[in-house]
Structure 1
Amino acid sequence: MTMHMKRQDIPQNAAPESLVQQLCAQARVEGRKDMATTLSARLNRLATDVAINELSAVEIIQLMRDESENWGNQWN
């Protein structure tokens, strides 16, 4: 469950720079959580494919390399 900053969470005398820092920190945390969820789902999918198809060690290694390349290319 994502926690969102509310008006009550902001001190009345907070400097704008402090607020920006808090918002950026919260965005980083939420981004990391989203990335972890995505990566977890992808790894689970790979594990399911390996189990269903009874892949050999060589095939598993290639599958992992392909997934790694796909993951890297997504951010380029």
Structure 2
Amino acid sequence: MVAAQAGPKREVFEQLARVLPEGSKVSYRLYEKGLRIILDGSSLFELPSGFEEYLRVQPEPPVNNTVVFLKKR
């Protein structure tokens, strides 16, 4: 799992795209609600090609992070 505060996310996922075999699954957390989305600009980024999202779990209080599940193409 890649943390919501991991940075720079784009570089993290580019490296994962290079080293993970096809079919590998990875998840990451991000902030989509509240002040954190304003304070944490790295939450909004485009995934590098090679990954596809297959599940997104929205948070329920007191949790603030959305969890996104990806699969390497």
TM range (shorter): under 0.3
Q: Which structure shows the higher strand fraction?
A: 2
Q: Which structure shows the higher helix fraction?
A: 1
Structure 2 length as normaliser, TM-score? Answer: 0.27
Instruction: Give the structure, 1 or 2, with the largest relative contact order (CA under 8 Å, sep 6 or more).
Output: 2
